Structure 1
Amino acid sequence: MIGTTPVAEGHTLTIEQAAEVLQCDTDTAAVRFNSGELPGVKFGRRWVIPAPAFFKRLNELALEEAERRRNQLAEERAAAAARAKSPQAISVREPAAARGRKRQPLPVLPQLPNAVSRGVPA
């Protein structure tokens, strides 16, 4: 039952009822019907939506979207596994001498005053 109108085999829905089922604004639902993504017939200014066709298409869309999400997840997992197995994935840096460069000498640091003279206990 949608709102106060029972939906049974062979009944039709209004755009408002379809929007209620989809939990969206009527304008959003109208865009989907206008694009042909959802089944409906426009008589004048009103949409008449066969309930069985609407729910059948809604089920098809849900299954298609679930399949698309599963495929995307599988592709992401395969790409991650390929990156993990790739020799380029392990970043090993060559020593400086192997790259043809000498190491820079460490800088000479100034001597710090004795800690006791600064009032810091040893």
Structure 2
Amino acid sequence: MAAVTIYHNPRCSKSRQTLQLLQENGVEPEVVLYLEDTPPLETLARIIVMLGVSVREFMRTGESAYKDNNLKDSSLSDRQLLEAMVEHPKLIQRPVVLANGQARIGRPPESVLEIL
């Protein structure tokens, strides 16, 4: 099986459930604690392309950093939004699993099984 990576926040129940589901299916993924080891802008951009979503769709819009930094502003470029996610990693959707050249957000956790 190809390498599997999970961008994980252990404080998030969906992230914990997704990691557990992977392990129950015999997958020991590389765990990236993205709040501590924030992916660079280029990696985030690649994940977004793999997911087939917009940069804004990949953001957690309910986070205080979204409101505090006026990220709702529609004039902001994708690069500016990506830079905000690098600066404030809580804005990154979670959990994200990468496998076999594809990516899925683990909401619901079972969605990640499609790419294994």
TM bucket normalised to smaller:
under 0.3
Q: Identify, as 1 or 2, the structure richer in helix.
A: 1
* Greater Cα radius of gyration, structure 1 or 2: 1
TM-score by length of structure 1 reads 0.26
Which has the higher relative contact order, 1 or 2, with Cα contacts under 8 A spaced 6 or more apart?
2
Q: Identify, as 1 or 2, the structure richer in strand.
A: 2
TM-score by length of structure 2 reads 0.27
